[in-house]
């Protein structure tokens, strides 16, 4: 019996896909932390690469892979495709990806990729009430955090963004006060509106003028104002899982943000969710719920040396090139279904040492 349990634990350990981002902090162990809300699910990410004739150069396809951290376990990752692939990570953010190199026959007829994995998402919540009352929390920009104080192509830290940050943090003496006032400004000023043109690019200056957009625009403005105020902040991409549904299709991505404070570390924020759900306005300053799955960090991403085009604005959908030119007509489909995580499986996973 003991030998059987050891073998099963070994199999489970081999199936665990865990990516630890160095500056995210240690994972929260289930056996040492209090119980918290969680959601276990299977996620399916499908890509169709269309038939292509005479490309005249190399054909490459990249798809993002989900990450594991202190609030998300990722297990039983499977990638099904006729095309050969390798796994890698970008040099700046360490985002994981699979890169496909189809044969001439495969790209001539078109090919499919199916990524399927099981994950458990836990609530990420930081108690900020006492910090706001005491107003004694600050940030330190050490080497791992410096990138999160720098501009992105569409998130400048001067001009209009800097002026907004100064205006709405005037008189604040601590980082936590500044963060709260920036959050309140973004949620109260922006509106979730995907009509017309311009939205969805995460152009902070456009968002500050148009005062509308989707989650990308909300959080680009938030991050720009935070960084302009000397507070490290970062952009995260994934998908929302519908609350109250146990399975179904997912139309598109969702994004959110985190900012860094000494003591609590990375503090979660979801400004667009707060706008859409006013009852959770205070909750989403300091919390991410379980109804999401996390894939990638950052903006202006260069995936690997095989990528010949410009850095990616963000990376959640598949990206492909033919002879260095972006492929525009990739087809995607995303879906999920909730699954039960048995106490026996949870106990075995706790017994397995964490991956580095």
CATH of the domain at 220: 3.10.620.30
223 and 325 both lie in a single domain? no
pLDDT of residue 28: 40
Strands of the chain, DSSP E = 38-49, 59-64, 72-80, 84-89, 96-101, 111-122, 124-125, 191-192, 212-213, 233-240, 247-250, 254-261, 265-269, 287-288, 292-297, 319-322, 325-326, 331-338
184 and 323 both lie in a single domain? no
| Residue of 306, 356, 326 lying closest to 90 (CA atoms) | 306
| pLDDT at residue 70 greater than cutoff 90 | yes
Asked whether the beta carbons of 51 and 111 are under 8 A apart, the reply is no
> At a CB cut-off of 8 Å and minimum separation 6, what does 296 contact?
64, 67, 93, 95, 236, 237, 238, 314, 315, 316
pLDDT of residue 225: 98
pLDDT digits (tens, 9 = 90+) for 266-288: 999 999 999 999 999 999 999 99
- Report if residue 53 sits inside a domain: yes
pLDDT digits (tens, 9 = 90+) for 199-217: 999 999 999 999 999 999 9
The count of structural domains within the chain is 2
CATH of the domain at 39: 2.60.40.2250
190 and 281 both lie in a single domain? yes
- pLDDT band at residue 115, thresholds of 50, 70 and 90? very high
Average pLDDT over residues 180-188: 98
| Residue of 217, 167, 183 lying closest to 197 (CA atoms) | 217
Q: What percent of the chain has pLDDT over 70?
A: 82
pLDDT of residue 237: 98
183 and 238 both lie in a single domain? yes
Domain range holding 31?
2-123+298-351
Place of tokens 């007829």: 109
* Single pTM value for the model: 0.85
Q: Which is more confident, 22 or 144?
A: 144
53 and 153 both lie in a single domain? no
Question: Beta 319-322 vs 325-326: how paired, if at all?
Answer: antiparallel
283 and 188 both lie in a single domain? yes
pLDDT of residue 342: 52
d(CA 147, CA 234): 9
- Report if residue 93 sits inside a domain: yes
- pLDDT band at residue 261, thresholds of 50, 70 and 90? very high
146 and 283 both lie in a single domain? yes
d(CA 205, CA 167): 16
H/E element, 68? none
Tell me if residue 108 falls in helix, strand or coil. Answer: helix
pLDDT of residue 55: 77
pLDDT digits (tens, 9 = 90+) for 281-331: 999 999 999 999 999 999 999 999 999 999 999 999 999 999 999 999 999
> At a CB cut-off of 8 Å and minimum separation 6, what does 200 contact?
194, 213, 214, 216, 217
List the helix and strand counts (H, then E) for the chain.
Answer: 9, 18
pLDDT digits (tens, 9 = 90+) for 142-173: 668 999 999 999 999 999 999 999 999 999 99
d(CA 268, CA 233): 10
166 and 218 both lie in a single domain? yes
Average pLDDT over residues 171-195: 96
Q: 11 exposed, middle or buried (CB, 10 Å; 0-12, 13-18, 19+)?
A: exposed
| pLDDT at residue 190 greater than cutoff 80 | yes
Which two structure tokens, joined as six digits, stand for 99? 């890169």
Report residue 68 CA to chain centroid gap: 11
| pLDDT at residue 8 greater than cutoff 70 | no
**DSSP structure class, residue 23:** G
Mean pLDDT of the chain: 87
Tell me if residue 15 falls in helix, strand or coil. Answer: helix
Which two structure tokens, joined as six digits, stand for 322? 């033919």
317 and 334 both lie in a single domain? yes
């Amino acid at each position: 019996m003991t030998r059987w349990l050891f073998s099963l634990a070994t199999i489970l350990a081999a199936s665990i896909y865990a990516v630890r981002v160095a500056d995210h902090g240690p994972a929260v162990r289930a056996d040492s932390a209090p119980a918290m809300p969680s959601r276990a699910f299977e996620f399916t990410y499908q890509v169709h690469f269309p038939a292509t004739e005479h490309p005249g150069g190399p054909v490459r396809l990249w798809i993002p892979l989900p990450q594991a951290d202190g609030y998300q376990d990722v297990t039983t990752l499977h990638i099904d495709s006729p095309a050969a692939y390798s796994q890698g990570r970008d040099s700046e953010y360490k985002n994981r990806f699979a890169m496909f190199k189809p044969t001439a026959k495969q790209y001539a007829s078109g090919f499919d990729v199916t990524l399927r994995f099981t994950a458990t998402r836990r609530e990420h919540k930081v108690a900020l009430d006492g910090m706001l009352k005491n107003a004694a929390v600050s940030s330190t920009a050490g080497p791992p955090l410096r990138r999160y104080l720098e501009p992105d192509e569409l998130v400048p830290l001067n001009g209009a963004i800097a002026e907004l940050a100064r205006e709405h943090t005037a008189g604040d003496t601590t980082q936590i006060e500044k963060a709260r006032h920036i959050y309140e400004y973004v949620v109260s000023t922006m509106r979730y509106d995907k009509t017309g043109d311009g939205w969805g690019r995460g152009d902070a200056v456009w968002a500050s003028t148009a005062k509308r957009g989707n989650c990308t625009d909300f959080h680009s403005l938030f991050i720009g104002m935070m960084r302009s105020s000397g507070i490290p902040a970062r952009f995260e991409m994934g998908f929302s899982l519908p609350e109250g549904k146990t399975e179904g299709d997912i139309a598109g991505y969702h994004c959110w943000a985190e900012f860094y404070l000494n003591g609590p570390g990375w503090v979660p924020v979801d400004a667009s969710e707060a706008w859409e759900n006013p009852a959770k306005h205070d909750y989403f300053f300091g919390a991410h719920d379980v109804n999401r799955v996390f894939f990638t960090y950052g903006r202006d991403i260069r995936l690997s040396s095989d990528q010949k085009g410009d850095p990616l604005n963000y990376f959640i959908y598949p990206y492909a090139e033919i002879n260095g030119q972006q492929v525009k007509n990739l087809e995607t489909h995303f879906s999920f279904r909730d699954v039960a995580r048995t106490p026996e499986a949870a106990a075995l996973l706790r017994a397995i040492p964490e991956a580095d």
